[in-house]
Structure 1
């Protein structure tokens, strides 16, 4: 207590030991995937694209991580953690190019290596030809051709190739390594010219398994690289699109953490329904041999369909990518502009400005089949553009049907949890109960005033109970304090019915 030297009235501010509950963040992304470079299995915070390139490299042909992070930031996301998945068994494709020999033994001139590990590099071919202008004795034209898998033949728009004309071995490293999205070049002999021919790259190995993406609580790789990071909220693994085991691992990881939400990607190139080969309906339900297993049933994740076309900086054309990166960005954008209680869907919060097309048009009839199953369809409208047109979780429980309701409750639960840590070791008596009630009520009042809870009065929107009934002597003796909170979340208007009646003119 302060001591004063002269008579008078003095005002002192005294802390009651109770801190207001601050709402936790809800919009931080968390991505696991394949990258060109970077530490393996370590989470890095990314807040802009330049930072991603510095840490993990640029776009690569065999991966979607860079595309997902780029789309997340472009659609409104501001920060995300990124983990590179890889394996010691992964190898890069390569080829050594010799000169013509000139009457003697041919000498190594160039060593070409795929820009990242994986069998994808075996689909790269280097073509050496004569230059268009400079002397062909010292200079040449180098063309890099990338052949798509047959199953992905429409993933890129147009021919995928890079051409470097009028170059020499002396300047080839600076010319190609800073530009090419497919290869890295090393000049073994800067004074020699490679022989004209085609040189396919070989020797690439994926070597990567599901466990490299999911990780374990022991090795702290993949998803578990996020274990010590509290502020992740939106999780995606875009390079494991359509992998039911990895998706289940992602859903369970978010369920166990109780503070984040998983966005699942469907397989590439599937139809809405196909009882033989399996469409997205069968993929979700696990009802065909292709996608055999239990139906996805979790309130901690959502599935979006179909894939989306985006502009591709790697080729200068377009590329189809899984939707999770764009959708995650729209989650973050909606949280920032409207609040976590608003469904990230519709012609405003659901508009995907990064997308330039969709993999396939989903008809109203097909949508009518997918929507009740909890599959969120992305639609293209003539006047509104490409929009997320669903806000369902993968849960079969109607109470947890909506994405925004599940995420709102995660927000409320974590906020109260973090904001109530001061309670630990306090005397467990009615005085403490009253402080807790006032503390939690003040927080929920803010949530209600933000429009997140249903009801015209606070009493209709929520309640907080901390008393002798839910804290009997035996619980207090065991060291427990029970706080019961009930809320009425606002749910989205999915079906807007407009009745129109025409009045006939009468005399």
Structure 2
């Protein structure tokens, strides 16, 4: 800030730099849109590894090409992905937790509604347990689901640990809702069998066997409660040891993993069965003494089970589901709010029965990529099982020919981890991973193809190609995947869909188009400081300095042609580009040019036989 001199001496004043750094944006953040077994619907979720995908979207699923594409993306070098789950008619599983007692002078009814946080059949596997083993067993309770535990929660909305607030604020699996039309202060019944209340002195245990049956079964199991427990904790431990002494059926842990928990002045007995409907029923003199022959409850409440709504995955998304609605930002349009998306993969689309069904989705995706300065990776239709068929049906993709898209043929043959068998997969996920790996190691200006672009995990290709066959489709803008001895399967093409020889497009090559997109987006973000600045020569000089510094950094890394910066790029911003009329209208025009590197697609080696030399 300006210094006001008041005494003789030296004053130090710091001045702001005129250089504003322009940073190159990301080039390989890849978006995947389609069906997954779980996850939020029509929301863009950023993940940084396949473990993230497994946690949030359920991992590999046989009906989910997206899940395999994401796995191949990270396997081939990808680092950041954005996943949008699309589900058609999916429904979330739920269960109503009952209160069947009136020990708090309240009528019986539904105490709490538990619902899977996301739609899909995955929610049917959730199991909820309830117990009253808290510091205030007559007022609060513990709720457990999956690996999540919510201790000391209360059904009272005025309580600081109100169950609905606690669960909804921290659970990744479920949401809790108060019951409609009933008193919200009801507590759910604890699972298992709960004994009657014990007094200050424990009852004497008869010298007889405790009789146990499984509800619906005919066999009676007998065991002996050993010792003379002096307190409720010791009694619970003795009862648990007695139950665990009962032999289990092979492969089950109904008795071997049984649990007995003190809850205030009561005991809760829960079987160790994986089946939530397994119920232990006690009888005999010992059960009467311990008051264990009351109404037993289930081992756990099954979300989506009896009395609840079953979760459904819904039908596989069709073209309209993938496209979605721009106004509601569903389907593809969920990506519009994501700042960094560079590549777009739609691995389900190639599996649609006809190309006519694929065209509308690819067209919508291409328009999105133009708006977002992104690049679309198009999988060849799965019906292209021969080269001749690919050549015959390629003209049907003419409506989606674009310099913002590239087509890859054929599909990959890899081992399906779920079955151990070879299976064909769309190549877009693996190609996106190779692009990310190439960008990181060499730069976005390097073609993501060649002997370095090996397809990890690929055993073979659905259509093997040789050089002459490759030469039939390469001039048409088709990027082939090839397999070479020793090297293995690789990407062997780097043309956009606008790169057919007949079109003579300036955006013929993938690296040229992607480099331009990176420069455009970097300058778009890096020149926002210009807005509302005084529009005159000092501003223009700053723009030339800042944009020139950015382009020079790319030149030094080998992004452009030429041996000098003058040959590689130029930045023009002066009174020739910005006239007085532009200034009056608040416009500043910046002209940027660059000389892109183009891949050495055809290597021609000329060999000449030397004639004999005459020595002089």
Please tell me the TM-score bracket, short chain as reference: 0.7 to 0.9
Counterpart for residue 365 of structure 1: 468
Contact 1:310 1:320 in 2 (8 A): yes
Counterpart for residue 105 of structure 2: none
Please give the secondary structure, in 2, of the residue aligned with 1:400.
coil
Question: 1:174-232 deviations in whole A, cap 9, x for unaligned?
Answer: xxxxxxxxxxx9665689xxxxxxxxxxx996263212212222121121111111111
Q: CA deviation at 1:294?
A: 3.8
> Alpha carbons of 1:52 and 1:438: their partners in 2 closer, same or farther (altered >3 Å)?
same
Over alpha carbons, which structure has the higher Rg?
A: 2
> Alpha carbons of 1:40 and 1:283: their partners in 2 closer, same or farther (altered >3 Å)?
farther
1:247 aligns to 2:362 (yes or no): yes
The gaps in structure 1 that reach 5 residues or longer are 93-113, 118-136, 139-164, 172-184, 192-202, 287-292
Q: CA deviation at 1:169?
A: 10
Query: 1 CA distance for matches of 2:445 and 2:19?
Result: 27
Contact 1:45 1:82 in 2 (8 A): yes
Q: CA deviation at 1:327?
A: 0.2
Which 10-residue stretch deviates more, 310-319 or 367-376? 310-319
**1:224-373 alignment runs, 5 A limit:** 224-241=333-350, 243-257=358-372, 259-274=373-388, 279-286=389-396, 294-348=398-452, 350-373=453-476
Q: CA deviation at 1:244?
A: 2.4
Query: 1 CA distance for matches of 2:541 and 2:60?
Result: 55
Question: Paired residue for 1:468, among 567, 571, 575?
Answer: 575
Q: CA deviation at 1:310?
A: 2.1
Please give the secondary structure, in 1, of the residue aligned with 2:582.
helix
Counterpart for residue 86 of structure 1: 87
The gaps in structure 2 that reach 5 residues or longer are 94-119, 124-217, 220-248, 256-273, 281-311, 352-357
Counterpart for residue 116 of structure 2: none
Question: 1:100-154 deviations in whole A, cap 9, x for unaligned?
Answer: xxxxxxxxxxxxxx9679xxxxxxxxxxxxxxxxxxx99xxxxxxxxxxxxxxxx
**1:362-401 alignment runs, 5 A limit:** 362-395=465-498, 396-401=503-508
> Alpha carbons of 1:204 and 1:55: their partners in 2 closer, same or farther (altered >3 Å)?
closer
Please give the secondary structure, in 1, of the residue aligned with 2:89.
coil
> Alpha carbons of 1:378 and 1:440: their partners in 2 closer, same or farther (altered >3 Å)?
same
Contact 1:281 1:373 in 2 (8 A): no
Q: CA deviation at 1:272?
A: 4.7
Query: 2 CA distance for matches of 1:454 and 1:186?
Result: 68
> Alpha carbons of 1:334 and 1:307: their partners in 2 closer, same or farther (altered >3 Å)?
same
Question: Paired residue for 1:435, among 542, 549, 553?
Answer: 542
Query: 1 CA distance for matches of 2:324 and 2:504?
Result: 29
Contact 2:479 2:494 in 1 (8 A): yes
TM-score, reference length from structure 1: 0.74
Counterpart for residue 498 of structure 1: 605
> Alpha carbons of 1:79 and 1:392: their partners in 2 closer, same or farther (altered >3 Å)?
same
Counterpart for residue 206 of structure 1: 315
Counterpart for residue 55 of structure 1: 56
Contact 1:90 1:207 in 2 (8 A): no
Query: 2 CA distance for matches of 1:448 and 1:207?
Result: 47
